[in-house]
Structure 1
Amino acid sequence: MKRSPDNQEVASYTEEEVLKCLKEMSKNKAPGPDEITSDVFLLGGEAITIYLTKVLQTKEVPPSWNETKIIILFKKGDPGHKELSPYQSSST
């Protein structure tokens, strides 16, 4: 066990745990604001494991992890309609 900056014990991720989670990610989905697809993450298992463990230990989350893009998609009905019911939101 390692210690965080506030002296609490912090577990590390194993590469197997990270790869298992990465393999469970949805495929063929739009990437987030970083424009990185799930396929790219699968290629960097060891590097991602090291990075996620560092984030866990330091409790320093990159600001970009809190960003999202929300777009409104037309789904049915009259696109000139004043209400939002013919639309749905999608976030990346």
Structure 2
Amino acid sequence: MEDLTGFQRDLLYVIAGADQPSGQSVKEEAENYYDSDINHGRLYPNLDTLVNKELVEKGQLDRRTNYYAITDAGEARIHERREWESQYVDF
């Protein structure tokens, strides 16, 4: 995850924890975590980065709504991150 921003990493975690969330659902979860509004100009380019890095796939629910789903590569990156974290934090 060294090539992701913290915000992108957080979006990846949100997507991993949901069943094909829409962009709006991802936005709402991120806003709850950050306790602030996240504008579309910040959210969607970062989601597109995750798609371009093949960590997330994007599909269409209907003509206006996309969904996002974690890929196997995305799950592997989260697993690697958690292993790295466990070296330093053991709760």
Q: How does the TM-score come out when normalised to structure 1?
A: 0.29
* Bigger strand fraction: 1
Q: How does the TM-score come out when normalised to structure 2?
A: 0.29
Tell me: higher relative CO, structure 1 or 2? Use CA pairs within 8 A at least 6 residues apart: 2
Name the larger-Rg structure: 1
